[in-house]
Amino acid sequence: MNKRQLGKNGPEVSALGLGCMGMSFSYGTPPDKPQMISLLRAAVDRGVTFFDTAEVYGPFINEELVGEALSPIRDQVVIATKFGFRLDPEGNRPWTGLDSRPEHIRAVADASLKRLRIDTIDLFYQHRVDPNVPIEEVAGAVQELIRQGKVRHFGLSEAGVQTIRRAHAVQPVTAVQSEYSLWWKTPGEELLPTLEELGIGFVPFSPLGRGFLTGKIDENTRFDSGDLRNNLPRFTPEARHANQAMVDLLNGIAKIKHATPAQIALAWLLAQKPWIVPIPGTTKLSRLEENMGAADIVLTPEDLQEIDAASSKIAVRGERYPEELGRMTGI
């Protein structure tokens, strides 16, 4: 797989990374751990070098999974994890709030290093902006971890442009992670120009609309009782019916390109900027290989213009998050 550099001074990684959250929780009953260890190592064998996890995924067990799977091939991969939530030390969910106090960041870093079985975290994101802690203090805490050799690069997740600028002035931000896809194009309006100006890489999560843009979900789909999509406004049956128009658009282009809707959705993202690295998640080898095939699809300027013109006429229905989570984004 082709490589991309995450920002001006960031690491070189595979053009597509792998989001690991769903391997442990969030989309129903997760598969067996040995199966996911095998999938993670298969991803490396196929050229994926960038892996995304977080302490809150599980919590804790996703970092443990990634650590067990990738520690034998540590020198071949770049591992990103995150801090910023207040969690029960026993691992009981749900999280109880945000916490980006410097002392908490230091404690999370030490715990994540142990779970991941590594000496240095390649990319350490603030998972959500904490309105109670100045971002300058957060950046300073990560800067100290970088000086200590515990962290290589600083990242922000779902942060607004002013927060990014303030953080970057203290400790250069290597990458920003936010949702971005054909059905959530808002980052392209203000965020991407800012990142380009500052030389910061961009990591879109949920690049396939939490599975919707694959074309495998419709208004009649029934999710497992533990699937977070049951609680997302964009995934009500009514919203899925209305949003089918976006999948129909992708299907039409996919047939012309001899590809799948998922591959077209990912290829569109890759074509936006050379420093964008999407991290689609999956628990299936077949889907991993399908997603990786997107890196070989070339969308011409005419293709992109057609996609943008058609998608701009589709009014996506439903908010991304319920109100509580929605308040944590774009600060």
Per-residue model confidence as pLDDT tens digits over 167-192: 999 999 999 999 999 999 999 999 99
Tell me the pLDDT tens digit for each residue of 72-92.
Answer: 999 999 999 999 999 988 766
Burial class of residue 62 (count of CB atoms within 10 Å of its CB; 0-12, 13-18, 19+): buried
Distances from the Cα of 219 to the Cα of 162, 223, 242, angstroms: 38, 11, 9
Q: Per-residue confidence at 93, pLDDT binned at 50, 70, 90?
A: low
Tell me the pLDDT tens digit for each residue of 43-80.
Answer: 999 999 999 999 999 999 999 999 999 999 999 999 99
Q: Per-domain residue ranges for the chain?
A: 3-326
User: Given a cut of 90, is residue 265 above it in pLDDT?
Assistant: yes
pTM over 0.95: yes
List 57, 125, 180, 321, catalytic entry: 57
Q: What's the CATH architecture for 3-326?
A: Alpha-Beta Barrel (3.20)
Write down the pLDDT at residue 95.
81
Phi, psi at residue 150, to the nearest 5°? -85, -20
Q: Nearest-5° angle of CA 322, CA 328, CA 331?
A: 135
Q: Per-residue confidence at 14, pLDDT binned at 50, 70, 90?
A: very high
User: Given a cut of 90, is residue 324 above it in pLDDT?
Assistant: no
Annotated catalytic residue 57: yes
How much of the chain exceeds pLDDT 90, in percent? 93
